[in-house]
Amino acid sequence: MTATPSFQAIILAAGLGTRMHSATIKVLHEILGKPMIGHVVEAALQAGAGRIIPILGHQRDRVQSYLDRRPYSHQIEIALQQEQLGTAHAVFCALDSLQDRYPYTAILSGDVPNMDAPRLKAFFEATVASGKAVGLVTAILDDPLTYGRVLREDNQVQAIVEHKDASPEQRALREINAGIYIVQTSFLREALTTIMNRPTNNAQNEYYLTDLIALAADGPGVFAWIIDQEECIQGVNNRLHLARATDFARRRINHAWMLQGVTFLDPSSTLVETDVVLSPDVILHPGVHLAGQTSVGTGTRIEANVQIRDSTIGPHAHIKAHSYLAAATVGPETSIGPFAHLRPGAQIGACCKVGNFVEIKNTRLHDGAKASHLSYLGDAEVGKDANVGAGTITCNYDGSKKSKTSIGAGAFIGSNSALVAPVSVGAHAYVGAGSVITDDVPDRALGIARGRQRNIDDWADPE
């Protein structure tokens, strides 16, 4: 069996999207934490695209800057559309960027974020198998709205008519054009040159990419791939659409994780972003939001409303309600929260406890260490099995620079202590409650720094 040839993908991303009412171009609006164009590029790459040609116009620097920071940036070649003369013109602007070593070119929309890689791959393979020059995705809708309608004769696709140009009879048709195409690269060059060299002839005075279909129908043939799930091809033109597309993406992800053994107490209120990796027997309570590059090990329970971004959570951990984690790691069998805040660089070992109202930043807790209540640990190292008492604060900032605090294995920091960095508390050392520790405490020593108590009798007024 011959390997399916690969393809290159053009992505239409030049439009501002005025109905978004935004200072940000439409394709940079996010679905589950990722700009729409990111979803489209990644789906194309996963479906087998060898290179991506985004067509940029408005805010092209912002879009390019986003794409440049992706791991796949070497597969991107930007094309520019200086003025917007229609969809055919947009693709025409990309012709110079096409490489003929790819026999097929996909044309995708940067504002259709939910066309997934498996479907795109299936569509590509079906188009190749059809032998036709153009494949297009269509959908049968109960309400075809303002989509372009697919005109068929003897069941063969003849043309697309845009809604604005359609007759009442044509508007009654329910098969619509999703705006997603696979085209033989050679035919694409030829057809677009034809379209751009003749006058426009439509309600909007634009060069229509959909004229491609009539040209192909008259020549090397058109293949229509009717999609099974219409949400996959819905475009985003306003924030209502954005919310709907987000909801669909969210439900699709949650559905897949449930079938792989993740319990969602309430999938309708749980957000798991695209790149998150879960394990069987993870339990997610309502309102959990797992974002960015986050992974969670087996048997871990994440309670209500926990927000986790770019973090690695080990197996059999317990993240209690209302916690907030970013760029942190949590070891196996460790308990976090409720109301814990792990900031970037928090590295919590195995069998640790980080309790309520504790903030940890750029700090490592070795296995078995505890910080159970009302503490701030920043730029610190906490040894194995050390116990950080309630109300402990590492004074890591003196107004000009940050310094480091070191707490040894098995040390015990009494409650309400301030550790003025740079400072070190030795292994198995003690700090008395309420102390301000400015000098190092040796191993196994007691450091204490507080005023002596005196009582003044009869202070209260007689009643």
Residues 237-256 that bind a copy of itself (CB under 8 A): 238-240, 242-243, 246-247, 250, 255
Q: Beta-carbon neighbour count of residue 439 at 10 Å? A: 10
- Of these residues, 316, 322, 373, 428, which one is catalytic? 373
- 266 is a contact residue toward a copy of itself (CB under 8 A): yes
Query: What secondary structure letter does DSSP report for 242?
Result: H
Query: What secondary structure letter does DSSP report for 444?
Result: T
For the segment 94-113, give every residue that binds a copy of itself (CB under 8 A): none
- 278 is a contact residue toward a copy of itself (CB under 8 A): no
For the segment 130-189, give every residue that binds a copy of itself (CB under 8 A): none
Backbone angles phi, psi at 301, to 5 degrees: -105, 130
Q: Tell me if residue 324 falls in helix, strand or coil.
A: strand
* Kind and range of the H or E run holding 26: none
Which residue lies nearer to a copy of itself by CB, 335 or 375? 375
For the segment 405-424, give every residue that binds a copy of itself (CB under 8 A): 412, 414-418, 420
Q: Tell me if residue 248 falls in helix, strand or coil.
A: helix
Of the candidate residues 41, 304, 327, 336, the single one contacting a copy of itself (CB under 8 A): 304
Which residue lies nearer to a copy of itself by CB, 26 or 149? 26
- 388 is a contact residue toward a copy of itself (CB under 8 A): no
DSSP 369-437: -EEEES-EEESEEE-TT-EEPTT-EEE-B-SS-B--EEE-TT-EE-TT-EEESSEEE-TT-EE-TT-EE
Backbone angles phi, psi at 95, to 5 degrees: -60, -40
Q: Is 416 exposed, middle or buried (0-12, 13-18, 19+ CB in 10 A)?
A: middle
Which residue lies nearer to a copy of itself by CB, 15 or 135? 15
- 1 is a contact residue toward a copy of itself (CB under 8 A): no
- 460 is a contact residue toward a copy of itself (CB under 8 A): yes
For the segment 334-373, give every residue that binds a copy of itself (CB under 8 A): 338-339, 341, 355-357, 359, 373
Cβ–Cβ under 8 Å, residues 150 and 166: no
- 114 is a contact residue toward a copy of itself (CB under 8 A): no
58 annotated active-site: no
- 200 is a contact residue toward a copy of itself (CB under 8 A): no
Of the candidate residues 107, 389, 406, 409, the single one contacting a copy of itself (CB under 8 A): 389
Residues with a catalytic annotation lie at: 373
